[in-house]
Chain A
Amino acid sequence: MAQKFYKKSFFFLVVIFFFILLYYIGLFKPLRTTTGQILKHPLSWSYSVGRRVSSFFDIFKNNSSLIKNNQALSDKLVILEQENIDLKKIIEQKYVSDEELAYLSQQNIKAVTAKIISRGISGNINTIIINRGQADGLQAGMVITAKNGLVLGKIIKVEDKLAHVLLLTDSNSRLSAASNSDKTLVGIIRGNFDLSLKLEYILRDKNIAVNDLIITSGQEELVPSGLIIGTVDEIFEDSRELFKTARIVQPETISNIDIVNVIVP
């Protein structure tokens, strides 16, 4: 009885190994690509449904803090409305949007729009899978952005029609960054306990202040400079240390986002 089981198990494993071998020879590669292609759309639809369900329950979860937030937001709205009027005037006067478009085309910055189809199955909560891959010109090392060009993560692996993205908030994530006000102030952005971001290796003689805008430095081959990462929230300075560190906050989190742009330099 036991010997029969071992024989059957051995035969079963040989069949599986043979199947995997045929894949690496190239015979079954189209099967995986086609399956991925077919599954992409239902996965994307299922993800959107999940997002809608989750946002519905968020209303109940956050109900207690809604009144407090509402008051704070109403106060902010008055200030922002005034700022908005000022900004509109500036934009009209200087034709900023036209200039920016011209700048982007001059710099040859292209973007590929992609949809998030899953949060990844690798055991890491800070990875996502998007529905674009090598076939769309994506490469490992490219960054993804969301609303207003905010950098959210970096591609770590590309399949034919899919790409795996590691979010900036992950402790293993690294990205070269600079300050918008002082381009010589350069550091490394790193995930901080999978929640926020840290800007490390800032030289002590460089001046950095709270609310400073942090952007990509452009020192990485596939990452153009000037993409927004976040703003400085807190600065940590120790007289015994060679470098300063700053905590960076991002205005958006991936949980609110369905569609992202992959920057193709």
Chain B
Amino acid sequence: MFKKIFINIILILIVYFFCVSFLSSFWPFTNLFLPLLVFVLMFFENRLAILWSCGAGFLLDVISPLPFGSYLLFFCLIYLILKYLNQNFFTNQSLNTFFVLTLVGNTFLLFFLFLEKNILALFDNNFFIVFYFWQIAMQLVLNFLVCIILFFTLRFFTNRLRLDLLPR
């Protein structure tokens, strides 16, 4: 178990450096943690999903201009929402489910950030509410791309995944 946790911490750090620093040097910040969180939640252990949500939240909080704990709390809330949906509504391991859960996660993250920035803007002039539509759209496109890559990579190794893009 400790080996798994250690490997996952390394993976979280790699994703963190990739999207916060490497990708952001030529592309606006894109949150790639969400599809990975959904991926771990759907196909791996629950404990690892908690590790991903807490790890990603904490690391993003280290360099975030928002008050400490914002991303940590948002990621944990998103984890609980996705877990609930995955247990009760989107229970099969298909590409559809993967897309829907990623979309839900993204929507909730944007909603939480929008809510917090609105509240902070009331007290602090340095917080302005800026959301670029094309940036949100590109974030979704990139997240779906990551979903496809992860899904088909895993499908290559195992037979348990279903490729249902449309309901029968």
Contact, CB under 8 Å: B29 / A120? yes
Tell me, yes or no, whether A51 is within 8 Å of chain B by CB.
Answer: yes
Tell me, yes or no, whether A16 is within 8 Å of chain B by CB.
Answer: yes
Q: How far is the CA of A49 from the CA of B128 in the complex (A)?
A: 31
Number of A-B contacts (CB under 8 A): 120
Tell me, yes or no, whether A103 is within 8 Å of chain B by CB.
Answer: no
Q: Using Cβ atoms and an 8 Å threshold, which residues of chain A touch B50? A: 12
**Chain B nearest CB, measured from A265 CB (Å):** 20
Tell me, yes or no, whether A156 is within 8 Å of chain B by CB.
Answer: yes
**Chain A nearest CB, measured from B151 CB (Å):** 26
How many positions in chain B have a CB within 8 Å of any CB in the partner chain? Answer: 42
Q: Using Cβ atoms and an 8 Å threshold, which residues of chain B touch A63? A: none
Contact, CB under 8 Å: A54 / B25? yes
Known: A16-B72, A50-B25. A118 touches B63 (CB 8 A): yes
Tell me, yes or no, whether A30 is within 8 Å of chain B by CB.
Answer: no
**Chain A nearest CB, measured from B144 CB (Å):** 19
Contact, CB under 8 Å: A13 / B76? yes
Contact, CB under 8 Å: B65 / A46? no
Tell me, yes or no, whether B73 is within 8 Å of chain A by CB.
Answer: yes
Chain B contact surface mostly: helix
Surface stretch bound by A, among B2-10, B16-24, B99-107, B155-163: B16-24
Q: Using Cβ atoms and an 8 Å threshold, which residues of chain A touch B28? A: 119, 125
Please tell me which one of the listed residues A5, A13, A53, A122 contacts residue B64 in the complex, with CB atoms under 8 A apart: A122
Tell me, yes or no, whether B51 is within 8 Å of chain A by CB.
Answer: no
One digit per residue, 1 when the CB lies within 8 angstroms of any chain B CB and 0 when it does not, for chain A 133-170 equals 00000001000000000000000110000101000001
**Chain A nearest CB, measured from B13 CB (Å):** 8
Contact, CB under 8 Å: B62 / A36? yes
B29-86 residues with Cβ-Cβ distance < 8 A to A are: 29, 31, 50, 54, 58-66, 68-69, 72-73, 76-77, 80, 83-84
Contact, CB under 8 Å: A122 / B25? no
Q: How far is the CA of A14 from the CA of B83 in the complex (A)?
A: 17
Please tell me which one of the listed residues A5, A32, A125 contacts residue B61 in the complex, with CB atoms under 8 A apart: A32
Tell me, yes or no, whether B113 is within 8 Å of chain A by CB.
Answer: yes
Q: How far is the CA of A9 from the CA of B46 in the complex (A)?
A: 13
Known: A32-B68, A47-B25. A129 touches B63 (CB 8 A): yes
Q: How far is the CA of A19 from the CA of B68 in the complex (A)?
A: 11
Please tell me which one of the listed residues B16, B58, B80, B135 contacts residue A12 in the complex, with CB atoms under 8 A apart: B80
Nearest A residue to B129 via CB reads: A123
Tell me, yes or no, whether A114 is within 8 Å of chain B by CB.
Answer: no
Please tell me which one of the listed residues A9, A49, A121, A157 contacts residue B80 in the complex, with CB atoms under 8 A apart: A9
Contact, CB under 8 Å: A172 / B128? yes
Please tell me which one of the listed residues B26, B59, B73, B130 contacts residue A20 in the complex, with CB atoms under 8 A apart: B73
Q: How far is the CA of A5 from the CA of B80 in the complex (A)?
A: 9
Contact, CB under 8 Å: A47 / B24? yes
Please tell me which one of the listed residues A13, A24, A123 contacts residue B132 in the complex, with CB atoms under 8 A apart: A123
Contact, CB under 8 Å: A124 / B130? yes
Contact, CB under 8 Å: A32 / B62? yes
Q: Using Cβ atoms and an 8 Å threshold, which residues of chain A touch B83? A: 5, 9
**Chain A nearest CB, measured from B89 CB (Å):** 13
Contact, CB under 8 Å: A125 / B135? yes
Q: Using Cβ atoms and an 8 Å threshold, which residues of chain B touch A20? A: 68-69, 72-73
Tell me, yes or no, whether B126 is within 8 Å of chain A by CB.
Answer: yes
Contact, CB under 8 Å: B65 / A122? yes
A-B residue pairs, 8 tightest by C-beta: A50-B25, A54-B26, A20-B69, A46-B21, A50-B22, A119-B24, A124-B130, A46-B17
Besides the contacts A46-B22, A50-B26, A162-B63, what 17 more A-B pairs have beta carbons closer than 8 Å? A2-B88, A5-B84, A9-B83, A17-B73, A23-B69, A43-B17, A46-B18, A47-B22, A117-B21, A118-B20, A119-B24, A121-B24, A122-B65, A124-B128, A125-B28, A170-B130, A172-B128
- Chain B residues engaging chain A, CB cutoff 8 angstroms: 16-18, 20-26, 28-29, 31, 50, 54, 58-66, 68-69, 72-73, 76-77, 80, 83-84, 87-88, 113, 126, 128, 130-132, 135
